[in-house]
Amino acid sequence: MPRGSEALRRSGRFLRLGALLAGIAVALSFPSFVPSPYELTVGIAILNYAVLSTSWNFVGGFTGYISLGHGAFAGLGAYGTGLLVTKAELPSFAALFAAAALVAVLAVPVGYAALRVRGASFVIVSIALVLILLLVFQSWASFTGGSRGLVVPRPFPGMLRAEHHEVFYFLFLALLAVALLAWWIIDRSRFGMGLKAIREDEDKAQSLGTPTYTYKLVVFVVSATFTALAGGLYGLWFGDLDPVFQFSILSGSYMVLMALLGGVRHLYGPLLGAVIVGYGLEYSKVEYGDTPLHLVFAGLLLGVVVMFMPDGVIPAVTGLVARVFRTGETSIREVTAAELRAEREADAPDTPSERRTDDQPDGKREVRQ
């Protein structure tokens, strides 16, 4: 019934457009109906999380490579901006973009080392990056201020606090819009198609002519740049940087948690996850203060998401909706090939995504590029 499904698709598009406009309206009017500047700072924190996890999702969502160390790029963006303002006396926003550009340049060699081999090494490099930067920024106190921290001068000195928050709320909102737009453009592009093919089956993608290594490196740099912009903007807003918070594994893991919770395959997945987790974080900070139980809850939530809904909330909910409304789409499954595949992989957990070959004692391919 092609006509029915066409109508359904059109009404779906209207629904989505309506939701988008409503979301924009809420986001734009939020500062004008918050009771106090405190709520505005919560909004800013959530927006910051949303930009960070959307930026993370350029790599995580498209290619399936999980980086636990994106906190490093945020920290570098923040410190880069702060140091360029204080040491090089650049104007605040020029410093922000210059710092992001520097991070983009740095991301090239990091990506070069991390992406040459697949999977596990990438995660290891991403964690190592945070740990090494923490060491450097703590130890090199004469330049970075070390554990005493770095004070970043405010970009608008004459402004009242409430006004200051409001300006940054809109700056973060604009950055989020740009990040989402960039993700959307890539998602529907030929480049994005190649990236998603890498996520599904990297060898196969390469055998069809996709330059997988270049693709991964490019999207890694894009991701790092957006993360650095978010970090730098945070530095300008917050005004006080401490290496322990800037280069923490935890901030990177929040990005992963938010994106995964919302759904890495969806444009708004990380944003949704940021709203849920970010709100939870800010709420519990007020209610319970800074306790180690934060870690426990973050860990448990991450574990539950990984075990039970690795595709996130959005597919889980849309799946539920689809089941309720039974769109009448007939199943095309004749022989369950997916099950066949799963069975095969269960038989050979040794080589999950590999060709199993009869005449090749070693199914591994040489490291290349």
Partner 1 sequence: MPSASLVFQSIVLGVLLGGLYALLAAGLTLYFGVMRVVMIAHSAFLILAAYLAWYAHRELGVDPLLTLLVTVPLFFAVGVAMQRLLLTRLRPATLTMMSVLLTFSIALVIEGLLGYAFSGTQRRIRLGYSSASLEFFGARIAVVKLIAFGMAAAALLGLYLLMKRSRFGQALRATIQHREAAQLLGIDTDRIAGYGFGLGLATAAVGGTALALDTTIYPSLHWHWIGPLMAIIVVGGLGSVPGAAIAAMALGMTQSLLQLELSTTWAQTVFYVALFATLALRPQGLFGGRLAQRF
Partner 2 sequence: MSAEESQEGLATVGLTKAFGGVTALDAATVSFQHGKVNALIGPNGSGKTTFFNCVTGMIRPDSGRATYRGRDITGKPPHRIARAGIGRSFQLCRVFPRMTVLDNLLVGARPGNLAAQLAGARKREEVERARGWLTRMGIEHLENAEARNLSWGQQKLLELAGVLMSDPDLILLDEPAGGVNPALIDRICDLVRELNAEGRTFLIVEHNMDMVMSLSDHVVVFDRGRPIAEGPPSVIQSDERVLGAYLGV
> Which stretches of the chain bind partner 1, using CB under 8 A?
64-66, 68, 109, 112-114, 116-121, 123-125, 127-128, 131-132, 135-136, 138-139, 249-250, 253, 256, 260, 291-303, 306-307, 310, 342, 345-354, 356, 362, 364-367
Q: Pick one of partner 2, partner 1, none as the site partner of residue 6 (Cβ within 5 to 8 A by kind).
A: none
Burial 224-234 (b: 16+ CB within 10 A, else e): bbbbbbbbbbb
Number of residues that bind partner 2 (CB under 8 A): 47
Q: Pick one of partner 2, partner 1, none as the site partner of residue 196 (Cβ within 5 to 8 A by kind).
A: partner 2
| Nearest-approach distance from CB 2 to partner 2, in angstroms | 11
- For residue 285, count other CB atoms closer than 10 A to its CB: 14
Q: Judging by beta carbons within 10 Å of its beta carbon (0-12, 13-18, 19+), is residue 279 exposed, middle or buried?
A: middle
Parallel, antiparallel or unpaired: strands 240-241 and 150-151: antiparallel
Burial 162-184 (b: 16+ CB within 10 A, else e): eebbbebbebbbebbeebbebbe
**Residue 91 gets which letter from DSSP?**
-
Q: Pick one of partner 2, partner 1, none as the site partner of residue 50 (Cβ within 5 to 8 A by kind).
A: none
By beta-carbon proximity to partner 2, the closer residue of 142 and 360 is 360
- Is 196 a binding residue for partner 2 by CB under 8 A? The answer is yes
HSE-up of 360 (CA within 13 Å, CB side)? 8
Single residue of 290, 347, 350, 362 touching partner 2 by CB under 8 A: 362
| Nearest-approach distance from CB 271 to partner 1, in angstroms | 20
Q: Pick one of partner 1, partner 2, none as the site partner of residue 116 (Cβ within 5 to 8 A by kind).
A: partner 1
- Is 222 a binding residue for partner 2 by CB under 8 A? The answer is no
Question: Could you give the CA distance from residue 224 to residue 218 in angstroms, rounded to a whole number?
Answer: 10
Q: Which residues bind partner 2 (CB under 8 A)?
A: 185-186, 188-194, 196-197, 200-201, 203-213, 331-338, 340-341, 344, 355-362, 365-366, 368-369
